């Protein structure tokens, strides 16, 4: 079983992940013109905020302060992902922030967390997967309606490495 300080650290990493993804969803919602996709991104943004608040409460129940003692590795991971996604037109699956969040949740689920914390993290992971699948389906439907000729710009962290692909 992980110690209380380790559990709090893991939860704080998830909080950082939720807030970073929440901001990315807001940018993606603003960037899309399709009202259905915009609605799903807004829903996902609200979901991320709610999840962060749940994680905040779990940290408090464990005796920690969710506002102090950030997680340097997680913060750096999301800063890099957010920078890569900032100018990206690729909204499919949430881009770099999606990958970073999946990795943080995967690591958390592998940890030997207290049962109630593990159940919270597992439920949030399932919720994240469900709404991301809705986004993928909507964007796939858009692509099919456009005859499969939707252009997507993929950005990677680093010196402005961008590539355009036909989907």
155 confidence band (pLDDT: 50, 70, 90) = very low
Alpha-carbon distance of 143 to 34, in angstroms, equals 12
116 confidence band (pLDDT: 50, 70, 90) = very high
Number of compact structural domains in the chain: 1
Where residue 98 sits, what CATH number does that domain have? 1.20.1260.10
Domain extent, residue 113, equals: 4-166
133 confidence band (pLDDT: 50, 70, 90) = confident
Highest mean pLDDT among 20-24, 31-35, 123-127, 149-153: 123-127
Q: pLDDT digit string (tens) for 77-108?
A: 555 545 544 444 444 445 556 777 888 899 99
Length of the chain (residues): 167
Give the strand pairing for 161-166 and 151-156.
Answer: antiparallel
């Amino acid at each position: 079983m992980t110690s209380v300080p380790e559990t709090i650290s893991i939860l704080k990493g998830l909080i950082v992940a939720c807030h970073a993804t929440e901001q990315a969803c807001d940018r993606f919602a603003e960037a899309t013109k399709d009202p259905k996709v915009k609605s799903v991104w807004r829903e996902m943004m609200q979901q991320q905020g709610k999840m962060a608040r749940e994680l905040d409460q779990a940290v408090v129940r464990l005796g920690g302060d969710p506002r102090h003692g950030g997680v340097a590795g997680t913060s750096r991971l999301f800063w890099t992902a957010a920078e890569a996604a900032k100018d990206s037109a690729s909204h499919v699956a949430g881009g770099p922030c999606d990958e970073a969040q999946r990795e943080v949740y995967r690591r958390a689920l592998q940890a030997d967390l207290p049962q109630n914390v593990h159940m919270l993290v597992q439920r949030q992971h399932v919720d994240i997967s469900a709404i991301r699948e809705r986004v993928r389906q909507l964007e796939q439907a858009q692509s099919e309606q456009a005859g499969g000729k939707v252009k997507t710009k993929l950005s990677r962290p680093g010196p402005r490495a961008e590539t355009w692909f036909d989907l």
